[in-house]
Structure 1
Amino acid sequence: MAEGREVRWVEVQEDQAGQRIDNFLRSRLKGAPKSLIYRVVRKGEVRVNKKRVKADYRLSPGDLVRIPPLRLAPEEAVQEVSDNLRNLLAGSVLLESPDWLVINKPSGLAVHGGSGVKIGLIEALRQVREDLGFLELVHRLDRDTSGCLLLAKSRSALLSLNESLKKHRMEKRYLALVSGRWPARREFVGARLDRFDAGNGERRVRVDAAGKMARTRFAVQETLADMTLVEAEPITGRTHQIRVHAAHAGCPLLGDDKYGSRAGLRQARKLGLSRLFLHASSLTFPEPSSGRPVSIKAPLDESLKTALSRARQSL
C-alpha cells in the first residue's frame, strides 16, 4: 500500500500553531501507524524549515514541513474502515459544531489503533470524515466503555477544551451496574491507583499507597436484586478509575473481566450481558468560542437496555 510517491511540502497555518509534529503528520499520512511516523522523524526524513526535528517539536505559523513519501507494508497499514463501521459511526454522532463533535462511542472499539489494534475510532473517523482537515481526541474512553466521547475539529478548539479538562470545567458522568448493594453513605471513593504489568504485556491498575490519588463520586440510581445501578463521576482522570474504585468499594462492575468478581461475571451471564456495563451517559463542557455550557446525553445501547430490563424483572 503506498501512501504517496512524491515529497510534499506543507506550510503551517495559524490555526495549526503549537501542534506537535507527530500529530500534524498523523492527520496527513492517513494509514501510517505512530511507530512509522516516529521512525521517519527520527531518521530525518521529515524536516521543518529544512532542519531535523524531534517528534515533540511544536510547529509555528509559516513553518515549512517536508513530508516524505511512504510505502506501507501490509502489516503496518491501518485497516480500511468497513462499511458496517462507517455506517455505525455516521449514526453515532450525538451533536456537532464547527469546532467539535460528540459521538456515542460503541463498546468494543478502541479510541485509537496500536498494540495489535489495526484501526481505532479516531482513525476510522478520519477516513469517514474526509471533509475534516483536523480531528483529534479531547479525552479517551476504555475500549469496552460506551458513551459520550468529545473530539476537536480545530487546533484552537482542542487547546481550549484541553484547558477546560485540565481545570475541571468538564463534567463527565457514567452509568454502571455493579454487583451487590452499594454501601450506605459511600458517596466518594478516594484511593491511590498504581499501574502495573499483569503479564503478557497487559497493563492493569490496582489500589496502592504508592500510586497517584484518585477520587470518584458515586450516587445510587436504583437498587436491584443483588445489584445496584450507580452514577459515577470521576473527579480525577486515572486509567480504569471507576472500575477499580467500584471493586475497591466491594461492588465490582458487571461484565468486568479485569477487575470484576466471579459473582459479578455470573450475574452478567444470567442477564445475557457480554460486555462491560459502563456507559459515559452525559458530558458537559464550555463551548470553546463562547464559554457557554454544552450538555449532551448518550442513550444506552440495546445490550445495556436489555440487561437492565432483565435485572429489574428479577426483583
Structure 2
Amino acid sequence: MSRSPRQKRNSTRRPSVGASEARANDRRPDSPGEVRQGVRKVVVDEDNAGQRVDNYLMAQIRDLPRSIVYRIIRKGEVRVNKGRVKPDTRLKAGDEVRIPPVTRKEKPAQVVPGSRVQGVIEDAIVFENDQMLVVNKPSGIAVHGGSGLDFGLIEVLRAARPQSKFLELVHRLDRDTSGLIMVAKKRSALRFLQDELRQKRVRKRYHALVSGQWSEQVTRVKEPLLRFELKSGERRVRVDAAGKESLTLFRCLQHFGGYSLVEASPVTGRTHQIRVHSAWVGHPIAGDDKYMDDVSLRAFRSAGGDRLMLHARALDFSLPSTGEPMHFEAPYDDAFSKVIARLEARLEARLEGGS
C-alpha cells in the first residue's frame, strides 16, 4: 500500500511506556560530577517482554558503563522476582526487577536542536503512527550525535517529542546520504523491524550517481568488506578476503556521458557497502570524499556538485502489529535534483548538436 508524503496517524500516548516505578528515585551527589541513583523496583511491561536483563538495565540507567552493569548482575545485586539472574536472562511481562543503587557520572547538558532544525526534520517525516516513523533524512544530518556532533536525527526527534519515552533508530544512514530511514516508537516495533531486516524481508533501494559509464553487465557485486581505521581514527571500509560477506544488486537507470545514475539494492547491510562496492567496480559515487579519487572529486565539485550523490529512494516493509505491506518513495532534495538536471541538459545539448 503506497502512502503519500506526510501521512500521519493520531496516537494516544501512554504516560509510562517503559516500566512503572514502585519507588521514587533517591538521588544525591556522591562527588562533583556524579549522581547517586537509589534502589528502584520496576515492573516489566508488555513492550519490554523478551528483553535481556543486561540490555534492560542499560536502557533503565542511561550512561552506565556496560562493565558496571555486568558487575552488579554478577554480584547478585540485580534481582528478578527476588531471585538472582544472569545477564542473558530474558524478562517476562509482570516481572519485578530490583535495580540496586548505582553511581554514575552526571551527563553534561545537551545542546538542544534549534527550532529551525526541528522544523526541517518534522517536515521530512513522510509517515507516522503509534508504532514508528519514516523520515526522508536530509543530507548532511547524522542519524545520531557523537564524534564531535552535538545532535543528530534521533536527538532532534526526541527533543521535538519530550513526551515519547522510546524513540530508537531501526537502521542507519551515513551522514551525507539522504533518504528514507525508519524510527521505532515502541520496543516491540524495534524488535519486529530489526528481525525483518535480519530475515531480509525489508527491501531498500538507493539511487546513486556514479562516475563513468556503468556497464549493463554489472548487476551484482559480491565482495567481502572489512572495516578499518586510518591513523587519524577515521573509519573506512575496503574489499578484503578477511571481511564480512556482502552483496549489492545494481541496475543502471541512465547514462549521461561521464556519469551514470544507478539503482543499488543492498542485500546485506554493511557499513559503506554501496559506496565501496561502486568504487571497487571502477565507478565511485560522485561527491564521495572517502572513496572517490581527488581528481574526479575536484572535477565534480567544480561542476557544481556539493553533496554525496547517494539517496535512499524507496523502502518496502511490513507494518508492525498489523503486517500491512508498506511502500514509500522519497524525492531527491534540491542539491541532488540540480545535479541531475544539469547532466540531463548537457546530454540533451550534445544529442542535439550531433543530430
TM-score, scaled relative to structure 2: 0.77
Tell me how large the CA RMSD over aligned residues is.
2.9
Give the SS at the match of 2:222: strand
Q: Please, which of 190, 196, 218 is the counterpart of residue 250 of structure 2?
A: 218
Is 1:17 aligned with 2:49?
yes
| Cα shift at 1:79 | 2.5
Give the SS at the match of 2:224: strand
Q: Please, which of 72, 90, 105 is the counterpart of residue 106 of structure 2?
A: 72
Asked whether the 8 Å contact 2:266–2:274 carries over to 1, the reply is yes
| Cα shift at 1:90 | 1.1
| Pair 1:48–1:272, CA change in 2 (3 A) | farther
| The 10-residue stretch of structure 1 (284-293 or 2-11) with the greater mean CA deviation from structure 2 | 2-11
Which whole-Å deviations, capped at 9, do the CAs of 1:116-164 have from their partners, x for residues lacking one?
3332222221221223222221111111111100111112222221121
Structure 2 residue identity aligned to 1:72:
E
| Cα shift at 1:83 | 1.6
Partner of 2:96: 63
Give the SS at the match of 1:91: helix
Long gaps (5+) in structure 1: none
Asked whether the 8 Å contact 1:19–1:155 carries over to 2, the reply is no
Aligned-residue sequence identity (percent) comes to 45
| Pair 1:129–1:188, CA change in 2 (3 A) | same
Is 1:180 aligned with 2:199?
no
Give the SS at the match of 1:134: coil
Is 1:41 aligned with 2:75?
no
| Cα shift at 1:20 | 4.9
Asked whether the 8 Å contact 1:17–1:60 carries over to 2, the reply is yes
| Pair 1:28–1:86, CA change in 2 (3 A) | farther
How many Å separate the matches in 2 of 1:186 and 1:148?
25
Asked whether the 8 Å contact 1:179–1:263 carries over to 2, the reply is no
How many Å separate the matches in 2 of 1:269 and 1:48?
59
Partner of 2:264: 232
Q: Please, which of 279, 302, 327 is the counterpart of residue 247 of structure 1?
A: 279
| Pair 1:44–1:257, CA change in 2 (3 A) | same
Structure 1 residue identity aligned to 2:245:
M
How many Å separate the matches in 1 of 2:173 and 2:234?
17
How many Å separate the matches in 1 of 2:301 and 2:168?
36
| Pair 1:303–1:211, CA change in 2 (3 A) | same
How many Å separate the matches in 2 of 1:267 and 1:151?
37
Partner of 1:154: 186
Max Rg structure: 2
User: 5 Å matches for 1:81-96?
Assistant: 81-96=113-128
Give the SS at the match of 1:212: coil
Partner of 1:163: 195
Which whole-Å deviations, capped at 9, do the CAs of 1:216-251 have from their partners, x for residues lacking one?
111111111200011100011111000000001111
Give the SS at the match of 1:219: strand
Give the SS at the match of 2:223: strand
Give the SS at the match of 1:196: strand
Which whole-Å deviations, capped at 9, do the CAs of 1:169-217 have from their partners, x for residues lacking one?
1000001111110023111111111111222112211111221221111
Is 1:114 aligned with 2:142?
no
| Cα shift at 1:22 | 6.7
| Cα shift at 1:28 | 6.0
How many Å separate the matches in 2 of 1:21 and 1:275?
43
Give the SS at the match of 1:231: strand
| Cα shift at 1:310 | 1.6
Which whole-Å deviations, capped at 9, do the CAs of 1:244-269 have from their partners, x for residues lacking one?
00001111001101111234312421
